[in-house]
A and B are shown apart, each in its own frame.
Chain A
């Protein structure tokens, strides 16, 4: 009976396993499906290679595009930079022949020298403020400023331009450095205070429990940090 049950149990499963084709459906075209599989098997390696080639090509393209974009950006930025750099050079350019004539005739020669030197400083270094301020101190003292100002007003703009530069440099001041003091450093201020109090020859009396106390001048004279406040007590009679 049990063997019959086992046979029955495996019966429908074995029937399913014995099924050779799909019921009610067209038989599988084995050749067509094999062709598909064969192509897949063949194309596996070549596809992988192809994908790697595509990845490499794409990366090269990306690198080229980035470099091109950078170049384009640089090209856009260059003209702006050039204009900025050229602007300071304009005032320092050589003046016109008419201006040369004017400058030689009416202006104080000392002032002209200062202008030349300061323009040279501006060309050489724009950041060195301390050097510029020193130069300004040396050259800014013009003896006859009123006549010089008049002379400059009459002359061309090319001569005036460096004077503006002088003012600009004079305004810029170097930062002051605060003195550095270490906490552990002891100065003589304490001793000085004591000596000051010593010089003031004062005398005082204090009454404590019916006894007068007074400061002693001998102690005050021979003071030390320990016995400054020593006092002699004298019993009251």
Chain B
């Protein structure tokens, strides 16, 4: 049974279809939540809240493909994560001077495995990690991030700059210096 059929049945109130949708998508969505939140239990709670909202608003949802469904779910989860972080007053970021955008050393990251990249991102401090996730992975702009997190654009830029610098340092300290050399 494909996702569109599952959505149709879930709309009619089928618990089995809802469970199938949950089993299908929960793994990937939990990883997304975990990228924003350090604690796995918190990430699971956030994911369950996201699914709850998804099933509650399913009647207004029109299926337009698997990718659209997944992106919608992803968006719900990210919003839930940001809400959770806002509740914990994580975004008390002191505004910094505006920093020019520094290109990320993508080649160094490309040579790493998925789990290594994930672990590096998770090790970043909350403010750096959130801005890095939103800018580099979700593809948002600085003004959008500033509105979402309630910070200025310059703060968002400086947070990203610092996140990249820290990632660079972590790559060096972890003995992955050869990647950088190779890229040069």
Evaluate contact between B27 and A20: CB separation under 8 angstroms: yes
Q: Which of B38-58 contact A (CB under 8 A)?
A: 40, 44, 47-48, 51-52, 55-56
Partner of B28, one of A20, A37, A40: A20
Evaluate contact between A12 and B26: CB separation under 8 angstroms: no
Contact flags B141-171 to A (C-beta < 8 A → 1, else 0): 0000000000000000000000000000000
Say yes or no: is A221 at the interface (Cβ < 8 Å to chain B): no
Partner of A19, one of B15, B23, B51, B115: B115
- Please indicate the chain B residues that have their CB under 8 angstroms from the CB of A23 in the complex: 114-115, 118-119
- Please indicate the chain A residues that have their CB under 8 angstroms from the CB of B26 in the complex: 28, 30, 33
Evaluate contact between B48 and A33: CB separation under 8 angstroms: yes
Say yes or no: is A38 at the interface (Cβ < 8 Å to chain B): yes
- Please indicate the chain A residues that have their CB under 8 angstroms from the CB of B117 in the complex: 12, 15-16
**Which single residue of chain A is at the shortest CB-CB distance from B15?**
A38
Say yes or no: is B19 at the interface (Cβ < 8 Å to chain A): yes
Say yes or no: is A186 at the interface (Cβ < 8 Å to chain B): no
The docked-state distance in angstroms from the alpha carbon of A9 to that of B109 is 9
- Please indicate the chain A residues that have their CB under 8 angstroms from the CB of B118 in the complex: 16, 19, 22-23
- Please indicate the chain A residues that have their CB under 8 angstroms from the CB of B51 in the complex: 37
Partner of A12, one of B18, B31, B40, B112: B112
Interface of B is mostly: helix
Answer whether A30 and B52 are a contact pair too, CB < 8 Å, given A12-B106, A16-B118.
no
Evaluate contact between A30 and B44: CB separation under 8 angstroms: no
Interface of A is mostly: helix
Answer whether A16 and B114 are a contact pair too, CB < 8 Å, given A22-B34, A33-B48, A36-B48.
yes
Answer whether A28 and B27 are a contact pair too, CB < 8 Å, given A16-B114, A37-B51.
yes
Q: How far is the CB of B59 from chain A (nearest CB, A)?
A: 14
- Please indicate the chain A residues that have their CB under 8 angstroms from the CB of B52 in the complex: 37, 40-41, 44
Evaluate contact between B22 and A28: CB separation under 8 angstroms: no
Interface residue range, chain A: 20 to 34
The docked-state distance in angstroms from the alpha carbon of A129 to that of B115 is 101
Contact flags B9-20 to A (C-beta < 8 A → 1, else 0): 000000100110
Q: Which of A1-56 contact B (CB under 8 A)?
A: 8-9, 11-13, 15-25, 28, 30, 33-34, 36-38, 40-41, 44
- Please indicate the chain A residues that have their CB under 8 angstroms from the CB of B106 in the complex: 8-9, 11-12
Q: Which of B44-82 contact A (CB under 8 A)?
A: 44, 47-48, 51-52, 55-56
The docked-state distance in angstroms from the alpha carbon of A175 to that of B38 is 86
Partner of A34, one of B22, B27, B114, B136: B22
- Please indicate the chain A residues that have their CB under 8 angstroms from the CB of B119 in the complex: 23-24
- Please indicate the chain B residues that have their CB under 8 angstroms from the CB of A25 in the complex: 40
**Which single residue of chain B is at the shortest CB-CB distance from A29?**
B44
Name which of B110, B112, B118 has the most chain A CB atoms within 10 A of its CB: B110
Partner of A11, one of B34, B56, B110: B110
Question: Which 7 A-B residue pairs are closest in the complex by CB-CB distance?
Answer: A23-B115, A15-B114, A12-B109, A11-B110, A19-B114, A12-B110, A37-B48
Binding site for A on B (CB under 8 A): 15, 18-19, 22-23, 26-28, 30-31, 34-35, 40, 44, 47-48, 51-52, 55-56, 106-107, 109-110, 112-115, 117-119, 136-137
Binding site for B on A (CB under 8 A): 8-9, 11-13, 15-25, 28, 30, 33-34, 36-38, 40-41, 44
24 A-B contacts (beta carbon < 8 Å): A8-B107, A8-B110, A12-B109, A15-B113, A15-B114, A15-B117, A16-B118, A17-B28, A19-B31, A21-B27, A22-B31, A22-B34, A23-B114, A23-B115, A30-B22, A30-B26, A33-B22, A33-B26, A33-B47, A33-B48, A36-B48, A37-B22, A37-B48, A37-B52
